[in-house]
Structure 1
């Protein structure tokens, strides 16, 4: 506690130190009847300590010259100011500079002690340098620890921000896929209901029922997607959709008027949850684009399970425009991002037999 107070009040500490050293030096000069030159040399050495933190080397030089002058004039040395100056140099200067400066001051003190025979002064100088060097080393170590802690804290904050950005991107992709697909289906169903509202009320009611069920499904997915626990983690209100839910997806799209044929090759097996969701979203996005933009009547979805990867192909017989199936925008970007997360690849473009095709390859066990 005392040490912390001293560190917080350096100017006051130096003033008190100067007064104490000055009082001792003046008392020693008066006691030995060194009234003019002795008092002047004593005051010079003491007053120099006021600026010891700002100019430690200069203060050491002044104090050393004062001590040497006192030794020459009066054959005595008072080592207190010199010890304080050496300690200060050791604390505030580099080891190399403080070593050379202390060696020079020590050489001067050796010459002074030859005149004064006060060899204890040398011990004071060496002890002061060792004490100051130890404190400087300790401070450097503590500063290094603080810098390391600050660096780790900055890295932690950066990781948190990066994770938040990734989570926002994930939610944005999910929102786009969920909303775009369900709104597209509802729009088509609403248009169909309007066309047959007077001529075929039963079909109109069927379309309106499909709109209601699609809307409820969309709300359920949105609640699951946006639900957050109090501690900030996502609260899963239900299982994430995956390739196992393609039958329901295909049935929903068929209900919107697009004839979809689903083919599954290979033995179905459990996939990592993130990869399974991404594969489902790719199929969903491709069918949504076909439904909205292609004017297609038929679409084919092929899923092939392999030991090391899952292959997906979505093809339609719609017209290819300058922006085929709407996949030149956010939809294609989102599909590519999903595939790249797992080290796979995605191709999208006109098919040889007409229409548009989206093909994706997702390695099993990679990424995620």
Structure 2
């Protein structure tokens, strides 16, 4: 269904422009056939608009120019409008603006065949898809920056908590241990008192650490919060589907690690893959929690860097594994298997 939806726009644009060329060509049959073939070809090129936006923009511009020369009444560069949207959504302005400039130049060809008002209208309309694509790109960048800020703030908060919980307690324990060592032979009663103080301080510290870990474990981040995790990605234009299968009441360590693996995989999808769709599947398969994250982006890019290594380290701590790599039909997949028995 997803592939069908992705193919609708190229088919519609290609057939529509080909119909215009066949019905309005001012040249002979041979050039009309050439125009129809080019119309179908530059429409079909829109299939790769998300994965190769720069190349598709070039094909749309060349094809649009041929169409304009064969059938001047076509007026609108339909494929170019779609291509400039995809280009602006995937690339920064210093790349997309030249594409917009060339599209405006293509629209200016209408000055030779139609009225000035119509030509100016076509050129003005050409700016709209670029602006919409730029809005989508900015939203994605904002989500990525927000995620980075959230991670940094969480790390800073945990660091402060750890300092407050541990630093004072360890200092007291070290001092008490040194005191016990000094009086161990001469005043064993004082040594025992110091050891009891160390024991009490250690237990209190463990209680504080348990409280801290409870704050950063499943109550805040866990599989139960996946919908909240994907909400800002959906707002940024990435279609994310989440499916759950089986009993997902899993040990805390597995719950948190699975959440982090999904988070990192989707972050890579948003940041690197230039995907339009992603799917997250989490299932309990006979005592093994499986996490499967797929997207339709540029296969291979998501696995570069420290993200995949970090996921593998998380899984290895639990005795699990993470496999990541491009899919045969395009896109990227992260698949994790986390045993529940070892974690328990």
TM-score for the superposition, normalised by structure 1: 0.45
Structure number with greater CO (CA < 8 Å, separation at least 6) is 2
Larger radius of gyration: 1
